[in-house]
Amino acid sequence: MNRMFFRATGLALATLMLAGCGGTKVSRVTHDSVIDLSGRWNDTDSRLVAEEILRDCLNSSWYNTYTAQGQIPTVIVGEVRNRSHEHIDAETFIKDMERTLINSGKVDFVANKTERDQLREEKADQATNSSVETRNQAGEESGAKLMLIGTINSIVDREGGKSVVFYQVNLELVQIDSNRKLWIGDKKIKKYVTKSSSSL
Protein backbone atom coordinates (compact mmCIF):
# COMPACT_ATOMS: atom_id res chain seq x y z
CA MET A 1 0.00 0.00 0.00
CA ASN A 2 2.77 2.37 1.08
CA ARG A 3 4.85 1.47 -1.96
CA MET A 4 1.94 2.15 -4.29
CA PHE A 5 1.38 5.50 -2.64
CA PHE A 6 4.99 6.59 -3.05
CA ARG A 7 5.17 5.43 -6.63
CA ALA A 8 2.05 7.43 -7.43
CA THR A 9 3.45 10.48 -5.62
CA GLY A 10 6.76 10.15 -7.48
CA LEU A 11 4.99 9.88 -10.82
CA ALA A 12 2.86 12.95 -10.07
CA LEU A 13 5.95 14.98 -9.07
CA ALA A 14 7.81 13.92 -12.21
CA THR A 15 4.84 14.91 -14.38
CA LEU A 16 4.67 18.29 -12.71
CA MET A 17 8.39 18.85 -13.23
CA LEU A 18 8.17 17.91 -16.91
CA ALA A 19 5.18 20.20 -17.36
CA GLY A 20 7.45 23.11 -16.52
CA CYS A 21 10.01 22.31 -19.25
CA GLY A 22 8.25 24.06 -22.15
CA GLY A 23 10.48 26.96 -23.28
CA THR A 24 9.68 29.61 -25.88
CA LYS A 25 8.45 28.69 -29.35
CA VAL A 26 7.96 31.16 -32.16
CA SER A 27 6.19 30.53 -35.43
CA ARG A 28 5.56 32.99 -38.25
CA VAL A 29 1.99 33.64 -39.35
CA THR A 30 0.52 35.80 -42.08
CA HIS A 31 -0.12 39.41 -41.08
CA ASP A 32 -3.88 39.09 -41.59
CA SER A 33 -4.38 35.82 -39.73
CA VAL A 34 -6.87 36.01 -36.92
CA ILE A 35 -5.37 35.06 -33.57
CA ASP A 36 -7.28 35.78 -30.37
CA LEU A 37 -5.33 35.17 -27.19
CA SER A 38 -6.78 37.29 -24.43
CA GLY A 39 -10.01 38.47 -26.03
CA ARG A 40 -8.81 42.07 -25.92
CA TRP A 41 -8.89 44.54 -28.79
CA ASN A 42 -6.21 43.45 -31.23
CA ASP A 43 -4.79 44.14 -34.70
CA THR A 44 -7.57 42.14 -36.39
CA ASP A 45 -10.27 44.26 -34.72
CA SER A 46 -8.46 47.42 -35.72
CA ARG A 47 -8.07 46.38 -39.36
CA LEU A 48 -11.55 44.95 -39.81
CA VAL A 49 -13.27 47.92 -38.20
CA ALA A 50 -11.27 50.41 -40.28
CA GLU A 51 -12.02 48.57 -43.52
CA GLU A 52 -15.71 47.97 -42.91
CA ILE A 53 -16.60 51.31 -41.47
CA LEU A 54 -14.81 53.25 -44.21
CA ARG A 55 -16.32 51.08 -46.93
CA ASP A 56 -19.68 52.12 -45.52
CA CYS A 57 -18.50 55.73 -45.39
CA LEU A 58 -17.31 55.85 -49.00
CA ASN A 59 -20.47 54.14 -50.30
CA SER A 60 -22.84 56.52 -48.54
CA SER A 61 -24.93 59.16 -50.27
CA TRP A 62 -22.78 62.10 -49.14
CA TYR A 63 -20.03 60.89 -51.47
CA ASN A 64 -22.16 61.06 -54.59
CA THR A 65 -23.54 64.44 -53.58
CA TYR A 66 -20.06 65.74 -52.95
CA THR A 67 -18.47 64.41 -56.12
CA ALA A 68 -21.45 65.50 -58.23
CA GLN A 69 -20.16 69.04 -57.74
CA GLY A 70 -16.97 67.94 -59.46
CA GLN A 71 -14.95 67.83 -56.29
CA ILE A 72 -12.81 65.00 -54.96
CA PRO A 73 -13.12 65.14 -51.18
CA THR A 74 -9.90 65.98 -49.36
CA VAL A 75 -9.97 64.19 -46.02
CA ILE A 76 -7.93 64.20 -42.87
CA VAL A 77 -8.25 61.87 -39.91
CA GLY A 78 -8.65 63.81 -36.68
CA GLU A 79 -8.77 62.49 -33.16
CA VAL A 80 -10.16 59.07 -32.37
CA ARG A 81 -10.67 59.00 -28.62
CA ASN A 82 -10.42 55.83 -26.66
CA ARG A 83 -13.30 55.73 -24.19
CA SER A 84 -13.15 51.96 -23.78
CA HIS A 85 -11.96 49.93 -20.81
CA GLU A 86 -8.72 48.91 -22.55
CA HIS A 87 -5.57 50.71 -23.49
CA ILE A 88 -6.07 50.78 -27.25
CA ASP A 89 -3.42 52.23 -29.48
CA ALA A 90 -5.57 54.67 -31.44
CA GLU A 91 -2.56 55.39 -33.68
CA THR A 92 -2.74 51.87 -35.17
CA PHE A 93 -6.44 52.27 -35.82
CA ILE A 94 -5.90 55.71 -37.39
CA LYS A 95 -3.19 54.30 -39.66
CA ASP A 96 -5.52 51.46 -40.69
CA MET A 97 -8.13 54.06 -41.61
CA GLU A 98 -5.66 56.19 -43.52
CA ARG A 99 -4.49 53.17 -45.50
CA THR A 100 -8.06 52.17 -46.35
CA LEU A 101 -8.93 55.71 -47.46
CA ILE A 102 -5.84 56.15 -49.63
CA ASN A 103 -6.11 52.70 -51.19
CA SER A 104 -9.77 53.29 -52.06
CA GLY A 105 -8.66 55.99 -54.54
CA LYS A 106 -11.93 57.77 -53.88
CA VAL A 107 -10.62 60.59 -51.75
CA ASP A 108 -7.61 62.84 -51.56
CA PHE A 109 -5.85 62.45 -48.31
CA VAL A 110 -3.67 64.97 -46.53
CA ALA A 111 -1.02 64.51 -43.89
CA ASN A 112 -2.00 64.91 -40.25
CA LYS A 113 -0.84 67.67 -37.95
CA THR A 114 2.37 66.00 -36.79
CA GLU A 115 3.34 65.02 -40.30
CA ARG A 116 2.57 68.54 -41.60
CA ASP A 117 4.86 70.05 -38.98
CA GLN A 118 7.63 67.75 -40.15
CA LEU A 119 7.00 68.67 -43.79
CA ARG A 120 6.95 72.39 -43.04
CA GLU A 121 10.23 72.06 -41.24
CA GLU A 122 11.65 70.37 -44.31
CA LYS A 123 10.31 73.15 -46.58
CA ALA A 124 11.85 75.78 -44.33
CA ASP A 125 15.13 73.95 -44.58
CA GLN A 126 14.81 73.70 -48.35
CA ALA A 127 14.13 77.43 -48.57
CA THR A 128 17.63 78.00 -47.20
CA ASN A 129 19.56 75.08 -48.61
CA SER A 130 17.93 73.72 -51.79
CA SER A 131 18.40 75.03 -55.33
CA VAL A 132 15.60 77.22 -56.66
CA GLU A 133 14.56 74.58 -59.22
CA THR A 134 14.10 71.80 -56.69
CA ARG A 135 12.79 73.88 -53.83
CA ASN A 136 9.22 73.23 -52.56
CA GLN A 137 7.37 76.39 -51.79
CA ALA A 138 5.53 77.08 -48.57
CA GLY A 139 1.86 78.02 -48.88
CA GLU A 140 1.11 75.39 -51.54
CA GLU A 141 -0.47 72.79 -49.30
CA SER A 142 -3.81 71.15 -49.97
CA GLY A 143 -6.18 72.00 -47.15
CA ALA A 144 -8.52 69.26 -46.00
CA LYS A 145 -12.23 69.92 -46.46
CA LEU A 146 -13.45 67.02 -44.37
CA MET A 147 -12.33 65.53 -41.09
CA LEU A 148 -12.99 62.09 -39.69
CA ILE A 149 -13.33 62.02 -35.91
CA GLY A 150 -14.51 59.29 -33.64
CA THR A 151 -14.57 57.33 -30.43
CA ILE A 152 -14.01 53.74 -29.36
CA ASN A 153 -16.42 52.67 -26.63
CA SER A 154 -16.91 49.41 -24.80
CA ILE A 155 -19.27 47.67 -22.42
CA VAL A 156 -18.13 44.72 -20.32
CA ASP A 157 -20.38 42.20 -18.66
CA ARG A 158 -18.52 39.69 -16.54
CA GLU A 159 -19.55 36.85 -14.30
CA GLY A 160 -16.89 34.55 -12.90
CA GLY A 161 -14.71 33.33 -15.73
CA LYS A 162 -17.12 34.40 -18.47
CA SER A 163 -17.32 37.82 -19.98
CA VAL A 164 -18.99 39.51 -22.89
CA VAL A 165 -17.13 42.48 -24.27
CA PHE A 166 -18.89 44.81 -26.64
CA TYR A 167 -16.93 47.39 -28.62
CA GLN A 168 -18.54 50.15 -30.59
CA VAL A 169 -16.49 52.38 -32.83
CA ASN A 170 -18.24 55.59 -33.86
CA LEU A 171 -16.93 57.73 -36.69
CA GLU A 172 -18.21 61.04 -37.98
CA LEU A 173 -17.27 62.87 -41.14
CA VAL A 174 -17.44 66.59 -40.54
CA GLN A 175 -17.14 69.43 -43.07
CA ILE A 176 -14.38 71.62 -41.66
CA ASP A 177 -15.63 74.99 -42.91
CA SER A 178 -19.27 74.59 -41.92
CA ASN A 179 -19.04 72.01 -39.09
CA ARG A 180 -21.78 70.07 -40.91
CA LYS A 181 -21.79 66.35 -40.24
CA LEU A 182 -21.99 64.57 -43.60
CA TRP A 183 -21.92 61.02 -42.35
CA ILE A 184 -22.08 59.07 -39.08
CA GLY A 185 -21.18 55.43 -38.97
CA ASP A 186 -20.45 52.78 -36.44
CA LYS A 187 -19.09 49.29 -36.23
CA LYS A 188 -19.80 46.90 -33.40
CA ILE A 189 -17.81 43.92 -32.22
CA LYS A 190 -19.00 41.50 -29.59
CA LYS A 191 -16.70 38.96 -27.98
CA TYR A 192 -17.47 36.15 -25.61
CA VAL A 193 -14.45 35.29 -23.50
CA THR A 194 -14.22 32.34 -21.12
CA LYS A 195 -11.49 31.54 -18.67
CA SER A 196 -11.07 28.24 -16.92
CA SER A 197 -11.15 28.51 -13.15
CA SER A 198 -8.79 25.59 -12.58
CA SER A 199 -5.97 23.69 -14.20
CA LEU A 200 -3.70 20.84 -13.25
Q: Which residues bind other proteins (CB under 8 A)?
A: 2, 6, 9, 12, 16, 38, 81-87, 154, 156, 158-161, 195-200
Q: How far is the CB of 73 from other proteins (least distance, A)?
A: 28
The helix or strand, by DSSP H or E, that contains position 43, with its residue range, turns out to be helix 43-58
CA atoms of 109 and 75, how far apart (whole Å): 5
For the beta sheet containing 181-194, the strands, ordered from the edge strand earlier in sequence to the opposite edge, are 108-109, 74-82, 146-159, 162-175, 181-194
Q: How far is the CB of 82 from other proteins (least distance, A)?
A: 5
Cβ-based nearer residue to other proteins, 100 or 154? 154
Q: How far is the CB of 108 from other proteins (least distance, A)?
A: 30
Give Cβ neighbours of residue 185 (< 8 Å, ≥ 6 apart): 53, 56, 57, 60, 170, 171, 172
Cβ-based nearer residue to other proteins, 41 or 66? 41
Cβ-based nearer residue to other proteins, 7 or 180? 7
CA atoms of 117 and 135, how far apart (whole Å): 17
Q: How far is the CB of 13 from other proteins (least distance, A)?
A: 8
CA atoms of 51 and 35, how far apart (whole Å): 18
Cβ-based nearer residue to other proteins, 11 or 124? 11
